A and B are shown apart, each in its own frame.
Chain A
Amino acid sequence: MQHRFLLGTRKGLFVVERTVHGWRSLPPHFPGLQIPAVLTDPRDGAWYAVVHHGHFGTKLHRSADSGRTWKEIAAPAFPPKPADAPEIRCPMRGVTIPWSVELAWCLEAGGDDQPGRLWCGTVPGGLFKSDNHGDSWSLVTGLWNRPERAKWFGGGYDYPGIHSILVDPRDPTRLGVGVSCGGYWVSEDDGATWANRSDGMRAAYLPPDQADDPDTQDPHRISRCLAEPDVLWCQHHNGIFRSTDDGRSWKAVPPPEPSGFGFAVAAHPIDPQTALFAPAEADVCRIPKAGRFVLTRTRDGGKGFETLTRGLPLDEAYDLVYRHGIDTDATGNRVAVGSTSGGVWVSEDGGDGWMPLPVRFPPVLTVRFV
């Protein structure tokens, strides 16, 4: 089991370690700065942190010594906009979609046979690739230039954003990305060409005749079972969906109690029937229902759900879990969850019971086991 996880928060990066006295956090790296994404690279042990300055833009830092020292490296950046590039306006609001990195929102490592390969998803919807541990980045034009991008719009932020990158452990040249709002997109040639795989998702926030449009789906977060990589779980704006064929088709899962609305999902890394979710009451009320902060878990592929309560605050709790706010370790037994109220809980038994960390953290943006 893994004994450490990173918490990217609105005001710094915290390392949380398991000691003989339980889980303890250390003073933050980058105090006061927003950490929307982190990566611990399983291939070489490097740590990466996206550091977002409110005034000065998104930066990327790398550590080769588990956070003792950090080095600022290149951040993803768009190439100069060609004179003939079309101006794309948000179909919902009419505002121009910027040709510029607003935020680096997620970061993933490539395959074991792709040393130095990193992927970075950004707002306003650009996917970037590095083959030198983040020393330089290039825009994945095969996705950015898809005409369907003109149908994408913001969800979570003002502009479209890539929040999930799912590298296939069987073949890392196959990968998918989740876009809010733009659906689930897959490449089978290392990012050269892309196709939308959102059949079966449904959007209730559009006129009914457009509910099935794959290019306007809002998968809040997509998570893959690493042991059975064809199994994907999606916490969508309009409920929970599951695919057993690598996104070629999605099936709606009957909503659990207390709600099927939420942002985060963690697929169990080994058991394709198991996944964890963090519900909020509804999209018009993004707090726990009745002040009870609970999680939900299915262990039968979504046919039924348990409501997980043991150790969680069940009275006057208003914690919301963002997209990247749940993570499991490689066994699936250790799970950590962090909320926008700064609450953090850890489970040692796959979610049966939870222990709170005795710290009032800043709002949690991302949780990731080392």
Chain B
Amino acid sequence: MVTVHVTQHLRREGFEGPWQVAPGSLRQVLDALFQSEPRLRSYVVDDQGRIRKHVAVFLDGEALTDREHQQVPVPGGSEVHLLQALSGG
């Protein structure tokens, strides 16, 4: 299984985690997560399914660069972190 964590900033919006979801591409992992947490979708991706421009995704400690297609494989045992990309004020 894959473990997905979210930034503590999303706790005030009612999202706690972590969640365990099946491995696959990152998009498959996120879609599985959004199945169980449907309201979380719009906080992580925009209305076209891209990672929001001020959200950072780390896969086993590495920042994701394919933010549109999210085809990077996420094998079992991986840790995914959904974080705020620091910006703004």
Residues of A at under 8 Å CB distance from B?
A: 53-57, 59, 72, 75, 77-78, 80-81, 99-101
Contact = CB atoms under 8 A, between A and B. Distances in A.
A72 B43 contact: no
Interface in B31-89: 39, 42-44, 46-48, 50, 52, 54-55, 84-85, 87-88
Contacts, number: 41
Contacts of B85: 55
B48 A78 contact: yes
Nearest to B47: A77
B48 A57 contact: no
Nearest to A80: B48
Q: Which 8 A-B pairs have the closest CB atoms?
A: A77-B47, A55-B54, A56-B43, A55-B84, A54-B88, A100-B46, A78-B47, A100-B48
Contact of A57 (B9, B39, B43, B87): B43
A277 B58 CA distance: 49
A279 B58 CA distance: 47
Contacts of B22: none
Which of B10, B47, B52, B84 counts the most A-chain CB atoms under 10 A from its CB?
A: B47
Interface of B: 9-10, 13, 39, 42-44, 46-48, 50, 52, 54-55, 84-85, 87-88
24 contacts: A53-B43, A54-B54, A54-B87, A55-B55, A55-B87, A55-B88, A56-B13, A56-B42, A56-B55, A57-B42, A57-B43, A57-B46, A57-B52, A59-B42, A75-B42, A77-B42, A77-B47, A78-B47, A80-B48, A81-B48, A99-B48, A100-B47, A100-B50, A101-B46
Contacts of A100: 46-48, 50
A77 B84 CA distance: 21
Contacts of A54: 54, 87-88
Given A59-B42, A75-B42, 9 more contacts: A54-B88, A55-B84, A55-B87, A56-B44, A81-B48, A100-B46, A100-B47, A100-B48, A101-B46
Contacts of B47: 77-78, 100-101
Nearest to B89: A54
Which of A57, A78, A81 counts the most B-chain CB atoms under 10 A from its CB?
A: A57
B84 to A, nearest CB: 4
B19 to A, nearest CB: 17
